[in-house]
Amino acid sequence: MLRMAALAGLLVPALAYAQLTGSPSLHEAGSLASGTVLRHTFTLQNIGHETLHLSEVRTGCGCVRSQPGQRTLKPGEKTTLPIEVHTVTQATGPNLWGADVRYRDEAGHEGVCTVRLRATLVPEVQLRPATLVLHTAAPAQAFFVLTERRNEPLPLTSVATSCAHVKAEASKPVRQGNNWTREIRLNVAPDCPVGRHECLLMLTTKDERFPELRAPFVVVKRDPSGVRANPEAHEWLAVGSEALPARLSLLHGDADQLITIENVSCSHPAFKATWASGTRGTVRFVVDRAQLPAGGVEAVAEVTLSRPQPTTLKIPLRVRLK
């Protein structure tokens, strides 16, 4: 969710090559009960003279989902941009959400087209906290609180998450004044992989007004050995045909323990890695420009350790083309 005061962080101004427009640029949805799903489909049109390639859609909020109908637009062509906002975690009152559609033309010029939705949320069904990040090195539990300003609580038919290593269960609703409340507990399994996991809580009900409630949450599973990579991820911006610099990740633990790296494997051939063990392990990454796909690439490096105890660290790698 983007409150109006924080909108500047999302609305990145387009460059001088403004060739993509959104219609309407702002959709007014009026008043809605919190917990309902706001849906609207925008029209995107290439008003320039060159073919455009839509590279990504950034929403700035896990409650907003969007995907363009097609990724390549010839001059004059249109496509749809459906946007779906799950409002159950959003603050009541005026809200403003947006989507940045990033694109480039055949000459490599880039631009951003922004569309927005505005609505005033009236409190009825809410999940708190709005942002839940669970840090753990072992099995753990956290919970959302579902609050309903209704005569009767919602009849839940299923309680689930999008993450195979996180299970959810709901307690029985309890009457508190004019509200019904219940806990939605999240249980992280012992076999949850090390790393950052973007997940969704998904509740389905028999109520036609609130058939599904969704809330994003994050599980960060720390390496139980205490070994961490710094930095935890690498990103390169490729301009023209110039060579890309090598990048280093230093591995360190909670004490001056010996870190033994057995192997480093990258999920895409554009990335190569060399490494050295020690009390400060080192992993060096290089990018082979000849192996890069036309649209850039995202990959993961898996660093296999045998000491201080057997484990695998994952380091995300990304190359963007300008």
Average pLDDT over residues 214-237: 86
CB 132 within 8 A of CB 144: yes
Q: Are residues 24 and 73 in the same domain?
A: yes
Token couple for 145: 């609180």
Give the helix/strand (H/E) hosting 114. strand 110-122
Q: Which of 102, 60, 66, 70 is nearest to 82 (CA)?
A: 66
The distance in angstroms from the start CA to the end CA of the chain is 29
Token couple for 148: 């309903």
Predicted structure pTM score: 0.65
For the chain, the domain total comes to: 3
**Confidence class for position 254, pLDDT limits 50, 70, 90:** low
Q: Are residues 117 and 141 in the same domain?
A: no
User: Using H for helix, E for strand and C for coil, what is the string for 286-299?
Assistant: EECHHHCCCCCEEE
Q: Are residues 248 and 215 in the same domain?
A: no
pLDDT value of residue 255: 65
What is residue 273's three-state secondary structure?
A: strand
pLDDT value of residue 8: 37
Q: Are residues 95 and 26 in the same domain?
A: yes
CB 225 within 8 A of CB 253: yes
CB 16 within 8 A of CB 107: no
What is residue 88's three-state secondary structure?
A: helix
**Confidence class for position 9, pLDDT limits 50, 70, 90:** very low
pLDDT value of residue 240: 73
Is residue 6 scored above 60 in pLDDT? no
pLDDT value of residue 39: 94
Query: ∠ CA(126), CA(129), CA(132), 5° rounding?
Result: 130
Is residue 256 scored above 80 in pLDDT? no
pLDDT value of residue 257: 78
Is residue 131 scored above 50 in pLDDT? yes
Phi first, then psi: give them for residue 8, nearest 5 degrees: -60, -25
Average pLDDT over residues 2-12: 39
pLDDT value of residue 222: 75
Average pLDDT over residues 66-74: 90
Q: Which of 199, 201, 194 is nearest to 220 (CA)?
A: 194
**Confidence class for position 225, pLDDT limits 50, 70, 90:** low
Is residue 16 scored above 80 in pLDDT? no
- Compare 8 and 112 and report the one with higher pLDDT: 112
pLDDT value of residue 224: 66
- Compare 4 and 230 and report the one with higher pLDDT: 230
Winning range, highest mean pLDDT, from 64-78, 151-165, 223-237, 239-253: 151-165
Query: Within a 13 Å sphere around the CA of 280, how many CA atoms are in the beta-carbon half?
Result: 5
Looking at 122, 142, 164, the residue that finishes a domain is 122
Looking at 181, 204, 221, the residue that finishes a domain is 221
pLDDT value of residue 17: 52
Q: Are residues 172 and 246 in the same domain?
A: no
Residue with tokens 């055949």: 106
CB 73 within 8 A of CB 46: yes
**Confidence class for position 3, pLDDT limits 50, 70, 90:** very low
Contacts of 288 (CB under 8 A, 6+ apart): 269, 270, 271, 272
Token couple for 59: 């929403």
pLDDT value of residue 290: 87
**Confidence class for position 293, pLDDT limits 50, 70, 90:** confident
Surface-to-core class of residue 144, CB atoms within 10 Å of its CB (0-12 exposed, 13-18 middle, 19+ buried): buried
CB 67 within 8 A of CB 82: yes
CB 305 within 8 A of CB 228: no
pLDDT value of residue 311: 85
Q: Are residues 105 and 14 in the same domain?
A: yes
**Confidence class for position 67, pLDDT limits 50, 70, 90:** confident
| Alpha carbon distance 283, 289 (integer Å) | 19
**Confidence class for position 26, pLDDT limits 50, 70, 90:** very high
- Compare 307 and 126 and report the one with higher pLDDT: 126
Domain that holds residue 39: 4-122
The chain-wide mean pLDDT, for the chain, equals 88
Enter the DSSP assignment of 6: G
Q: Are residues 98 and 66 in the same domain?
A: yes
pLDDT value of residue 196: 85
The CATH number for 201's domain is 2.60.40.10
> pLDDT per residue over 152-185, tens digit each?
999 999 999 999 999 999 999 999 999 999 999 9
pLDDT value of residue 180: 96
Q: Are residues 118 and 133 in the same domain?
A: no
Q: Are residues 183 and 194 in the same domain?
A: yes
Looking at 221, 256, 280, the residue that finishes a domain is 221
CB 74 within 8 A of CB 20: no
Q: Are residues 160 and 186 in the same domain?
A: yes
Q: Are residues 108 and 143 in the same domain?
A: no
H-only helix segments in 57-196: none
Q: Which of 262, 191, 217, 186 is nearest to 63 (CA)?
A: 217
pLDDT value of residue 13: 41
Q: Are residues 111 and 146 in the same domain?
A: no
